[in-house]
Amino acid sequence: MNATRETLPIRGAGLIALLTALAALGQFASSVYLPSMPAMEVGLGASRGEVQATMTAYLAAFAVMQVVYGPLADRYGRRPIMLFGGTLFVVGSLLCMVANSVEFVIVGRIVQAMGACAGVVASRATTRDLYEGPDLSKVMAAIAMAFSAVPAIAPIIGGALQETVGWRASFAASAIFGGIVLLAVIVWLRETNRSPQTKLDFASVWAGYKIVGGNKQFRAYAFTTAATMGGLFAFLTGSPSVAIDEAGLTPLEFGLYPSLSIPAFIVTGTIVRKMVAKTGDAPLMRVGGLLAAVGCVAMLGVAWTDNISAVSILICLSIFVAGMGFVFSLGHAGALRHFPERAGVASGLMGVLQLGAAAVFSGLVAAFASFGATGFALAMAVAGVSALVFSRGCR
């Protein structure tokens, strides 16, 4: 059954909220347990690097599955992918909750990621189905603002749960959130793919990816967004242990900490919504790449000179988040704009690049865990400079 915004049971702000929630499942699951990482080391008898590897495994699985879900969403529709992924997400969250070893957590995280990425691919493709032109950029910007606020809000929830219940409660929260979103999809969302592909085989899938990946503008927007995502997950992976074990913050204090950078994201998101119709995507993407690079290089500077503190981290993070606001608000719309008939493939390929970069930079942080703040700051700097370079190609 095909659907338009007018025929869906939910429309307007409610529709955007549901699409945002679908896209945010992965961000919530990757952020809510961050304040519990040091406690997981103790509770599971694992090293810092092993616990950080739970993030790397999650991101790697997320990246790989985007390749699978993109063509499936174009062939069989967005809604079946959402339902299947939502169920997997809940199951994976519950597996993590009952795990008694770090290896068991890694398995659960892989299942969790396999489910969460379905929501990201299908929600972006659905948005592309329903909106065109400037409306697409505006809706993507609104979704991106809410989506990118999740890493700031979820650790607050996780920090409170850690201090009151323990680390397993964060995974229970993911299961509950996933269950609510799954129920909402069942009740309120219909199929929006008006022109499903008639066949699905390796040759046609590979041809689709070649067409999308061969577009220079897709690469410019997608690589800029991927590098920025890499910088974000370098921070998310490395900062909990540094902030809690070395800077002396409590889990709840650390959970509150990322939220202090939200004003920077709100400001840039507002600028995007007001200016994108006049300036287009490209100039704002280049500003975002520059700010992301400045914030990341500044983080390396304070770590290298041993000036890491709550204030210095917040200043650098706010600059980076301001750049992230531009990039995340516009990157997806810019990358998907040229592929209305391959929105699922384009979304899937973009997701592979984003989460692949996140997994790489998260893995670097885990590998250099013994270097403390300098390790994750160096990974951030490489990601930020890469975002600046790639953003120069946006037109």
Q: Which of 171-180, 228-237, 309-318 has the highest mean pLDDT?
A: 171-180
Question: How many domains, the chain?
Answer: 1
Round to whole Å and give the CA distance between 161 and 82.
28
The tens digit of pLDDT for each residue in 247-299 reads: 677 787 777 766 777 778 778 878 887 887 788 888 999 999 999 999 999 99
In a domain, 229, yes or no: yes
In a domain, 196, yes or no: no
In a domain, 3, yes or no: no
What angle do helix axes 202-213 and 216-241 make, rounded to 10 degrees? 90
Instruction: Give the pLDDT band (50/70/90) at residue 1.
Output: very low
Helices (H), the chain: 12-31, 37-44, 48-76, 78-97, 102-130, 133-164, 168-188, 202-213, 216-241, 251-256, 262-279, 281-304, 310-336, 343-367, 373-391
Round to whole Å and give the CA distance between 371 and 300.
12
**Is the pLDDT score of 122 beyond 80?**
yes
Mean of all residue pLDDT scores within the chain: 85
pLDDT for 231:
93
In a domain, 313, yes or no: yes
The tens digit of pLDDT for each residue in 144-163 reads: 766 667 877 898 999 999 99
In a domain, 2, yes or no: no
Residue with tokens 């699905």: 200
pLDDT for 112:
96
CB distance 138 to 329 below 8 Å: no
- B/e letters for 295-317, b = 16+ CB within 10 Å, e = fewer, are bbbbbbebbeeeebeeebbebbb
In a domain, 219, yes or no: yes
CATH number at residue 212: 1.20.1250.20
Query: 249: domain range?
Result: 12-190+202-391
**Is the pLDDT score of 104 beyond 60?**
yes
**Is the pLDDT score of 5 beyond 70?**
no
